[in-house]
Amino acid sequence: MKPIYFLSLIFLLLGTTSSMAQKTISLFNQNDLKGWYAFEPETGKHKEGLDLFAVDNKMIRCYGKKAGYLMSKKSFRDFKLTVDFKWNTDTTFVKKNNSRNSGVMYLVPKDTPDELWPKGIQFQIKEGGATGDFVLLQEVTLTINGIQTQPGKSVVAKRFQEAENPINEWNTLVITSNNGTITQELNGKLVNEGINSSVTKGRVLLQYEGFPIDFRKVEIVKLK
């Protein structure tokens, strides 16, 4: 291979790698909650996520006496979202209840009102074999196994298999949304999938439903 062609190939590969790297977005910088706002029904929207939740030891720590959430300020279309989560069983953390129940929502439209819980799709995180369920909120529909779900306030579509790690271990969920096709993976296993989503663009939301939960990686890779 002639030197000039070899160098051109190297520059092309470097440019491709750089372009791919630019599509990866870390929504959590491990230092603060820049890029997020917080909400709970009694006091409403808080521009600063740290008004309600905390960052400690490079983790988002959701806890307290009131249910609420963190919402990303940016919206995304056609992406792969990766989130690490673990239940926080430290008894010194204030909690609202003893039910291990939470979730990661996505495709929350920019114009939907803040409430518990807004329009979008939820990757259910719930003790007792429900982690990986779809929860379709506020009339969102999805076609699963050839059948379109009925619109409703909160419609559950069960996961295909269980894949959650023991309580004290980290879990990794991966959500892929591409032109209306949705897949949900948990710890490397496909747990749910559907097509023809009625929402295709929106924000990311981390739920706090009353039992302390930690998140450490929240990362999006743009697919287009």
52/212 Cα distance (integer angstroms): 13
The domains of the chain, with CATH numbers, are 25-222 (2.60.120.560)
Q: Is the pLDDT of residue 107 over 80?
A: yes
How many Å apart are CA 121 and CA 142, to the nearest integer?
A: 9
CA angle 139, 141, 145 (to 5 degrees): 150
Return the SS3 of 116.
coil
Is the overall model pTM greater than 0.85, yes or no?
A: yes
| pLDDT tens-digit readout, 67-93 | 999 999 999 999 999 999 999 999 999
- Residue pLDDT, tens place only, 6-44: 444 444 555 544 444 458 899 999 999 999 999 999 999
